[in-house]
Amino acid sequence: MAKKLMKGNEAIAAAAINAGCRYYFGYPITPQNEVLEYLSRELPKAGGVCLQAESEVAAINMVYGAAGAGARVLTSSSSPGISLMQEGISYIAGAELPCVVVNIMRAGPGLGGVQPAQADYFQATKGGGHGDYRVLVLAPANLQEAADLTQLAFDLADRYRNPVMVLADGMIGQLMEPVELSPYRPAVRLAPKDWATTGTAASAGRRRVISSFYLYPDQLEQHVRAIYAKYAAMERDEARYELHQCDDADVVIVAYGTTSRIARSAIEKCRRLGVRVGLLRPITLYPFPFAAFEELIARPRAFLVVEMSMGQMLDDVKIAVAGRRPISFYGRTGGIVPTPDEVVKQALVLMEGTIP
């Protein structure tokens, strides 16, 4: 397929169809409505079902049912709606079902605003709902990557039988860029879904039950430990990141999604001023790419974390750096997108403060 100019939300939706997703359940909320609208139009043409649910609570439980029935299934929402889905996501993780959840983040807390933000990092990466579980989180920085990671998300969800979240902000959802969808091939070898409820006629009479309920503590602990073995494998195999101009950098900016794009512009400006700045861009937020910090820790004098939040990924960077270098933070929130000049200023202040 040739490159096509698309809106971020549409690119994600188109990539889902391309990856073989035929079921979508969602509820309108700005700034992700184009996902639901695009799939309302296009999924039936592909022989699929797009259903506008009565709420995000219902939508995520429809996802549970469809995933348990063996389908590739997608939902999308934005921050307040994702909060409503947390119960269902916990059940999906507990029942070990694969699904993809897209969060086009807007500013919070509460009803907040409809402008872009990155303030759902904690919710996305630390569990979000109740109980011991994690969601694999992919954070695209441009629309081609949004499409590619959406396809990867389905494969990883199936491989680990766990929810995978595509975490983007309203900027990624709303801007337009050229996107190319290549013929889909699974990124990993996918096992048959021999656990899905299809009716016993389709499973040689063997009953299949989807549940996250374990009344006996020893069984539940065993179940949670088995789930955590998957998270250990994810942490070993799935951490993804990008390094940009880090080889000679005195300051390394850590940023993901939209803020990583702003950081790139800031880095260019800094380098024109003779200040060597690089970028470490986490692509997976869970698992967080701790190994990337070990790879480059010897060189930079300081780290600068930039987020559209009051500092959430900052905590993971602190864990990664473990006191070996100073860390500065620059965040805008409430729907304000920082400018490259603001980031340049922070980098220069940091250089003055930490470099003799």
* Contact set with another protein (CB under 8 A): 23, 25, 49, 51, 53-55, 57-59, 61-71, 73, 87-88, 91, 95, 197-203, 205, 207-213
Smallest separation, CB 190 to another protein (Å): 17
Q: Which of 117, 135, 139, 138 is nearest to 125 (CA)?
A: 135
The C-alpha atoms of residue 136 and residue 100 are separated, in whole angstroms, by 10
Q: Is residue 257 within 8 Å of 168, Cβ to Cβ? A: yes
Got the DSSP string for 111-164?
T--SSB--TTHHHHHS-SSSSS---EEE--SSHHHHHHHHHHHHHHHHHHTSEE
CB of 47 to another protein, least distance (A): 12
CA 341 to chain centre: 27
Which among 153, 307, 314, 296 has a CA at the least distance from the CA of 234?
A: 153
Provide the minimum distance between the beta carbon of 230 and another protein in the complex, in angstroms, as a whole number.
20
Q: Are strands 241-244 and 277-282 parallel, antiparallel or unpaired?
A: antiparallel
Least Å distance, CB 284 to another protein, is 27
CB contact at 8 A, 354 and 301: yes
Find the shortest distance in angstroms from Cβ 125 to another protein.
Answer: 23
> Which CB, 58 or 348, lies closer to another protein?
58
Closest approach of another protein to the CB of residue 202, in Å = 8
Q: Closest CB to another protein among 212 and 312? A: 212
CB closer to another protein out of 94 and 170? 94
Toward another protein, which CB reaches closer, 102 or 138? 102
User: Which of residues 57 and 337 has its CB atom nearest to another protein in the complex?
Assistant: 57
Q: Which is nearer to another protein, 192 or 205 (CB)?
A: 205
